[in-house]
Amino acid sequence: MTLPGSEGGAAAGGRRVTVMDVGGTTLRVGTFDTASGRLLPGVRRVPVEGMARFPGAPVPVLQRRVVEQIAREAERQAADAGGDGLCVAFAGPVGRDGTVRGAPTVWGGGGGPLPLRELLESLLPVPVVVVNDLTAAAWRYGADSPEPFCLLTVSSGIGNKVFRDGGVLLDDEGHGGELGHWTYDRSPDAPPCDCGGRGHLGAIASGRGVLAAVRRAGLADRAGYARSALARSAADPAEVDNPAVAAAVRAGDPFATEVLRGTLVPLAAAIGGVFASIGIRRYVLMGGFALAVGERYRELLAAELVRQGCFGLTDDRVRAMVVLGADDDDHGLIGAGLLMDRRLDATGKATAGVAAG
């Protein structure tokens, strides 16, 4: 599977498009050159003007701040590097018309749908595409790949998108690819999710979920924690952080590895459900936590998939299903550039269906 944007290979046409990745804490903005198929140097990062920066602010206020920030950053980027269009990869479900249906990590739960594409096109003189961030990331891998796959991100949350037959599988309202909000644990004291629910896969198996599990295990087994490499980075289990957990797992620390194994049980179950329902046999891992652990994360997840089994597949074929994505954080930006170029006609106008989320 090639990686457009790292080795070149975009469609001809010589466009420069502004690309933006809006997450829960950070907004990243850059310029994608379609002639070379590359993300140009100089990607900027700024804090998102959402709930992480303005805790307690009402949802409508946060929505307005985020819209204005996106428009402001897009204008600045286009002035610096040129821009024939804007593609925004947004952390939340996005409908085909570019309406954001929800954004728990950006402005929390509640609030009505936000017609982000429509609002941005009223503020900017260029065509705009708004898609879910993982939809954009999937285009990085799917633009030149005939093989169906499921992109999985394991970072502060968990998300996925299935890429098949030249596009991402979603309905018109953007439903699909939200495995992070699949309820695995239905107990009343299940871990809370950012969306307000409990027991969701993202609350258990994300980077935040793993960290919470490590802290709980350390507090419950002080002696075991004291023997772990984790104790060298934080004597108090309540103060250990994700980089320390990732480093401990990479180094083969038994305590940290065993906790991680426990969180992979529901993730493997979710993957098994995708395979059993639609037959996807390739799962590309990305996200800050998964890639920080690296090959060991892939090995542990594949081992859990083998333990649970995938009907009709040998153990070797199950192990081969899981691969690591590129070890960078440019997935959404590169994919957004490739997608935007494909959605512009020769005159630079947005074509029908441009905002599929």
- Residue 14: both structure tokens together: 């010589």
- In this prediction, residue 273 carries a pLDDT of 96
Please tell me the CATH code under which domain 178-281+288-324 is placed: 3.30.420.40
Which value, to the nearest 10 degrees, does the dihedral of the CA atoms of residues 89, 94, 96, 97 take? Answer: -90
* Chain centre distance of CA 24: 11
- In this prediction, residue 214 carries a pLDDT of 98
Please tell me the CATH code under which domain 16-142+329-342 is placed: 3.30.420.40
pLDDT tens-digit map of 305-339:
999 999 999 999 999 999 999 988 899 999 999 99
Distances in whole angstroms, Cα of residue 138 to Cα of each of 50, 93, 201, 250, 347 = 25, 14, 20, 27, 26
Which value, to the nearest 10 degrees, does the dihedral of the CA atoms of residues 271, 272, 275, 280 take? Answer: 30
pLDDT tens-digit map of 203-242:
999 999 999 999 999 999 999 999 999 999 999 999 999 9
pLDDT tens-digit map of 104-117:
889 987 788 999 99
- In this prediction, residue 146 carries a pLDDT of 76
- In this prediction, residue 167 carries a pLDDT of 85
- For the ranges 13-27, 68-82, 275-289, the lowest mean pLDDT is seen at 13-27
Q: Could you give the angle at the alpha carbon of 247 between the alpha carbons of 245 and 249, nearest 5°?
A: 70
- In this prediction, residue 13 carries a pLDDT of 53
Domain borders along the chain are 16-142+329-342, 178-281+288-324
- In this prediction, residue 175 carries a pLDDT of 83
* DSSP β-bridge partners for residue 308: none
- Say which residue, 73 or 176, is predicted with more confidence: 73
* Mean pLDDT of the 155-184 span: 88
Distances in whole angstroms, Cα of residue 207 to Cα of each of 15, 283, 302 = 37, 18, 18
Q: Is the pLDDT of residue 143 over 90?
A: no
Q: Is the pLDDT of residue 136 over 60?
A: yes
**How many percent of the chain have pLDDT more than 70?**
93
Residue in 118, 186, 145 with CA at minimum distance from that of residue 355: 118
Confidence at 62, pLDDT banded by 50, 70, 90: very high
How many helices (H) does the chain have, and how many strands (E)? Answer: 13, 11
What is the average pLDDT value for the chain, to the nearest integer?
90
Cα(214)–Cα(209) distance, integer angstroms? 9
Q: Is the pLDDT of residue 8 over 50?
A: no
- In this prediction, residue 306 carries a pLDDT of 98
- In this prediction, residue 351 carries a pLDDT of 43
Residue in 37, 35, 61 with CA at minimum distance from that of residue 50: 61
Residue in 40, 22, 153 with CA at minimum distance from that of residue 89: 22
- Residue 169: both structure tokens together: 């599988």
Q: Is the pLDDT of residue 7 over 50?
A: no
Q: Could you tell me if 17 and 82 are in contact, meaning their C-beta atoms sit under 8 angstroms apart?
A: no
- In this prediction, residue 354 carries a pLDDT of 41
